[in-house]
Each structure stands twice: as C-alpha cells, then as structure tokens.
Amino acid sequence: MRYDVANVFVSCFVGWDSQLLQGILSVQWYENWEDCIHACHALLPMPSRIAMIERLRAHVNRSTYSRPILAARSAGGSSGYIVLHPGALAIIGGLDFPDCESNACRADTAMLLEDLVECASPEVEIVQAVITQGELSAAEQSAYEECFRSAGLDDVAELVQVELNSPKVSSSIPLDCNNSSTIQLGDGLTLRDANEYESKEFAKIVEQTYNASLDVPELNGIRSTHNTIEGYASCVQESYLPWWVIEHQQESVGCLLLCPHQNELVELVYLGLVSLARGKGLGVRVLDFVSHWAAVRGATRVVAAVDQRNKHALQIYEKAGYTEFSRANAWIKAS
C-alpha cells in the first residue's frame, strides 16, 4: 500500500512566517500545541492523549521542518491541526467542532481548515487525510467530509485494512534470515537487502511497480518516488530498514517494505510487483516470508492497507491468511 496511513499524529506548531499569515485572519494560532491535541481528541481517554503527545514530542525533535505542525483555532471556537511529515507530505491530524450539526459551525471549521491547508501547501506535494469508517457519528462524518471538500481534498480511495494474527515461522525459510542480505525463497525467488542498493536504483525499482497498479492510482504523477520512499523510511524507528528487492529468475521484479512497531506489531508498508511478475503466485510466497520474519521477531500481528479496487491483491492477502478488520477513506489534495 503506497498511501501513508501510519503515524497520523506526529508533529507540533509554535509559530509561522508572518508573510504566510498575511490575509489569513480567521484563525488564532495555538501557543501551546498540546492544547490543540486535547481539544481535537477530547473523546480519547487521557492516557491515550498523553501517549499521542509523547509521540508528537519525539517527532518534533527529529523533524527537519522549521514548523512541523500548524495548529489553530477560529473565532467560532473550532480547532484543528495539520502535521508536516518527511517526504513532502502533510496530514490533517484532527478537527474539533463545537457543534457539528450547526451549519454556521461547519462553515467556521471549513474556513479554519482552508487556512491550515493554504499554509501547509507551499511545504509539501500533497495534503492528505484518512477517516476510519465507523469511528465518527453520521453528523461528524458529514461535517468532516464537508470541510475536506471545502479545503480542496478529494475522496480518492477506500482502504481495506487487513491483519494477520499469530504469524508463523516457516520451515522452508532459514531462521537466521533477519541477518542475511540474500534470502532464497526457492524456485528462483530471492529477496535482496534493499539497504545495499543505491538510492536512485532502488527508487527506479519501486517506481516500476506503480505501473498499471490499482493501488491508489490517483497518486501517480502527484508525489515523487523519492519523497514517497522518504516518507516510508520515516516510519521506521530503527537504524536498519527491513526492506528488500524481490528478484525472480535473477530479475528485479518488485519490493517489500516492512515497519516494526511497538506492542509486537509489524506493518506491511508496501509490497509491489512489476506488471509482468503479477499473477504468478509470487505475492503469496513473499507474504509467507513476511509471516516468518514477523514471527522470528516475536510479533503477534501484521497489518496492511489495500485499495478496495485492487481485488487481486485482496485475494492474495486472503489466501495468505489475512482478514479484514476495518475500512478507511483516503482524501488528498495536490499542492
């Protein structure tokens, strides 16, 4: 999945260039970004909010943006924030509606979000948002969507979120595969450590997998491959990237990108194959390796997100033992 749905809440705002603020008079910028987090996520239990704030602080410390979050409130009492991520990506982190059923409140919040998006756009290639289905009331859902459209975002994809519980070690894969730069999966299928590739060479392989892909094709030509890869890499909090180039019969035919998280969770960030390698059963065999790699690490769950239009990929995940646990809608705006 090449849509960034991980680490949605990761940044902070403490001010902005005065030139960018010219003409943006409908908002007041938060002096303390934590206040905005509490306002936008008031329904979250306090321990969850504190954990979110800790993640935000960690991100701020490693961010290369001069202002990693835009956090503001309106005269009408609405609040909202946008997170700037590595890879020229901005993510709408949250909105707070004092009354989401009021047309006046919706208009006020929409203006607030328009201002936030306007300020974020010069720094990034795309602004995106992800709404998990079923987490909002009907009124909240409608209010969010109305604000997104007003700020220029389009609903481009429905994401099927799948999981593999209790991943298993495979007897056909060496137990020490985590320490090997080349992993033989049999019948000419090989994984090679992507960390050993030049960045341009690896980017070329990744880009080839996007051709004729049903995995959010709306992103083609909007976000550069370099920035996409940078965004992927920022999710990994370890010095080593668990990424591989997939080879079949000594030809590079795809890539596999994993991201281990805390709490014994592994995210399958992206699995892509070039068009000529699809439909040959390679995906299921690579997913068998993913299960093995996660189990060896002691992970108890692997998660991934797939565009619902990509029926073939969903069938492959199902064959590999993955089940659907949620759906979300992805919204984007090209800057």
Q: Are residues 280 and 182 in the same domain?
A: yes
Q: Are residues 200 and 222 in the same domain?
A: yes
265 within 8 A of 230, measured Cβ to Cβ: no
Q: Quick check: is 69 in a domain?
A: yes
Mean pLDDT along residues 111-135 = 94
Q: Are residues 133 and 171 in the same domain?
A: no
pLDDT band at 26 (very low <50, low <70, confident <90, very high): low
Backbone angles phi, psi at 311, to 5 degrees: -60, -35
The CA distance from 1 to 123, in Å, is 24
Q: Quick check: is 335 in a domain?
A: no
H/E stretch holding 285 reads helix 282-297
303-315 tens-digit pLDDT: 999 999 999 999 9
Give burial (CB, 10 Å; 0-12/13-18/19+) of 44: middle
Q: Are residues 243 and 175 in the same domain?
A: yes
Looking at the predicted structure, is the pLDDT value of residue 4 above 70? no
Mean pLDDT along residues 206-219 = 87
Largest interatomic CA distance in the chain? 65
H/E stretch holding 139 reads helix 138-150
Which of 118, 152, 186 lies at the terminal end of a domain, its last residue? 152
Looking at the predicted structure, is the pLDDT value of residue 36 above 50? yes
Retrieve residue 290's tokens.
Answer: 């993913």
Task: Say what angle helices 282-297 and 311-319 make with each other, to 10 degrees.
Answer: 50
Q: Quick check: is 98 in a domain?
A: yes
Bridge-based pairing of strands 154-165 and 323-334 is antiparallel
Q: Are residues 309 and 188 in the same domain?
A: yes
Above pLDDT 70, what percent of the chain? 91
* CA Rg value for the chain: 21
Q: Are residues 182 and 281 in the same domain?
A: yes
Residue with tokens 């995906």: 283
Distances in Å between the Cα of 137 and the Cα atoms of 49, 133, 144, 154, 219 are: 20, 10, 10, 20, 29
Q: Are residues 49 and 186 in the same domain?
A: no
pLDDT at site 179: 67
**Number of alpha carbons in the 13 Å side-chain half-sphere of residue 17:** 10
Average pLDDT, the chain: 88
What DSSP assignment string belongs to 301-332? EEEEEEETT-HHHHHHHHHTT-EEEEEEEEEE
Backbone angles phi, psi at 134, to 5 degrees: 90, -5
pLDDT band at 294 (very low <50, low <70, confident <90, very high): very high
The residue with greater pLDDT, 240 or 263, is 240
Residue with tokens 């009492």: 77
Which of 111, 128, 152 lies at the terminal end of a domain, its last residue? 152
User: Which residues, other chains included, contact 335 with Cβ-Cβ below 8 Å and sequence gap of 6+?
Assistant: 90, 120, 121, 122, 124, 125, 126, 127
Mean pLDDT along residues 140-164 = 96
Kindly report the CATH number assigned to the domain that includes residue 188: 3.40.630.30
Mean pLDDT along residues 121-140 = 94
- Structural domains counted in the chain: 2
The residue with greater pLDDT, 215 or 142, is 142
Mean pLDDT along residues 253-261 = 96
Q: Quick check: is 3 in a domain?
A: no
The CA distance from 105 to 119, in Å, is 21
DSSP helix/strand/coil, 335 = coil
- CA dihedral of residues 226, 227, 229, 231 (deg, nearest 10): 170
pLDDT band at 215 (very low <50, low <70, confident <90, very high): confident
Q: Are residues 146 and 182 in the same domain?
A: no
H/E stretch holding 247 reads strand 243-248
Looking at the predicted structure, is the pLDDT value of residue 317 above 60? yes
**Number of alpha carbons in the 13 Å side-chain half-sphere of residue 26:** 16
Q: Are residues 49 and 93 in the same domain?
A: yes
pLDDT at site 114: 95
Retrieve residue 15's tokens.
Answer: 């001010």
pTM assigned to the model: 0.87
The CA distance from 30 to 128, in Å, is 22
pLDDT at site 237: 82
Q: Quick check: is 317 in a domain?
A: yes
Looking at the predicted structure, is the pLDDT value of residue 77 above 50? yes
Q: Quick check: is 333 in a domain?
A: no
Residue 254 belongs to domain spanning: 163-328
Q: Which of 79, 94, 73 is nearest to 10 (CA)?
A: 94
Q: Quick check: is 176 in a domain?
A: yes
Q: Quick check: is 204 in a domain?
A: yes
